[in-house]
């Protein structure tokens, strides 16, 4: 794990932003709901990826659902998704983007709605531990995205104020969490959410994926840490 550089932080979501997992989540949640007897269209599931599991289930099944099923649905998703852990793949340019952020003087902190073991599997797939200073997961906070808790916890891990950080994420939930935390968010399309939706949620800039952000980093908010 890299040492903190201090001064400013690049905070990055992982699912769909650095690792190509969003559609795996959609498929495995779809199967978990089907097994519970509460089938949900996969397109609807995709719109909720990036939320914590508690919020995702509530949004898809409604507040009047039988909440006693929630734990079983979550466990089924975790087991189904876990079968992919050894086959997870980073998105093109993801690890190089982290290394370039570090080279430019940013402290690199990962901020994921995944649970700790899930995040660890994605970090192994990324293979960029030499530049990752710290990471936070849903295990570390009370409220998952779109609540600002994860972003705020990542700021604490980096030791910087909100005006000295930039976040990179792929969902409207990332952008909303950042807006509530006072951190500008760069959006990427690699999670399957449109540029229009990301910009309407408040994304400051939008790129096709980590590779394009890396290519254009000099002209982005990640071009240089604030002085």
- Asked if residue 140 and residue 199 are part of one domain, the reply reads yes
Q: pTM here? A: 0.95
Are residues 31 and 48 both part of a single domain?
yes
Q: Is residue 1 part of a domain?
A: no
Query: By residue range, what is the domain housing residue 148?
Result: 9-20+89-219
**For residues 24-52, average pLDDT:** 96
Is the pLDDT at 143 greater than 90? The verdict is: no
**Same domain as 27, residue 14:** no
Same domain, 181 and 136: yes
Number of separate domains in the chain = 2
Instruction: Render pLDDT for 63-76 as a digit per residue (tens, 0 to 9).
Output: 889 999 999 999 99
Same domain membership, residue 59 and residue 100:
no
pLDDT of 142 over the 90 cut: no
Instruction: With respect to residue 226, please indicate whether it lies within any of the assigned structural domains.
Output: no
Shared domain for 132 and 172, answered yes or no, is: yes
Give domain status of residue 227, yes or no. Answer: no
**SS3 labels along the chain:** CCCCCCCCEEEECCECCCECCHHHHHHHHHHHHHHCCCCCCHHHHHHHECECHHHHHHHHHCCCCCHHHHHHHHHHHHHHHHCCHHHCCECCCHHHHHHHHHHCCCEEEEECCCCHHHHHHHHHHHCCCCCEEEEECHHHCCCCCCCCHHHHHHHHHHCCCHHHEEEEECCHHHHHHHHHHCCCEEEEHHHCCCHHHHHHHCCCEEECCHHHHHHCHHHCCCCCCCC
């Amino acid at each position: 794990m890299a040492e903190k550089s201090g001064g400013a932080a690049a905070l990055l979501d992982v699912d769909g932003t650095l690792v190509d997992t969003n559609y795996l989540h959609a498929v495995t949640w779809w199967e978990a709901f089907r097994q519970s007897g509460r089938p949900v269209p996969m397109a609807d599931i995709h719109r909720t990826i990036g939320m914590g599991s508690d919020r995702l289930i509530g949004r898809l099944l409604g507040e009047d659902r039988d909440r006693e099923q929630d734990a079983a649905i979550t466990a089924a998703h975790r087991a189904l998704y876990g079968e992919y852990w050894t086959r997870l793949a980073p998105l093109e340019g993801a690890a190089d983007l982290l290394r370039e952020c570090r080279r430019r003087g940013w402290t690199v902190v990962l901020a994921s709605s995944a649970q700790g073991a899930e995040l660890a599997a994605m970090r192994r797939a990324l293979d960029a531990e030499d530049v990752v200073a710290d990471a936070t997961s849903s295990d570390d906070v009370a409220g998952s995205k779109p609540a600002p808790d994860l972003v705020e916890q990542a700021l604490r891990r980096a030791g910087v104020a909100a005006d000295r950080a930039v976040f990179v994420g792929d969902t409207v939930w990332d952008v909303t969490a950042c807006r509530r935390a006072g951190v500008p968010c760069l959006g990427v399309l690699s999670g399957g959410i449109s540029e229009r939706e990301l910009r309407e949620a408040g994304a400051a800039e939008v790129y096709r994926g980590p590779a394009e952000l890396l290519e254009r980093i000099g002209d982005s908010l990640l071009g240089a840490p604030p002085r």
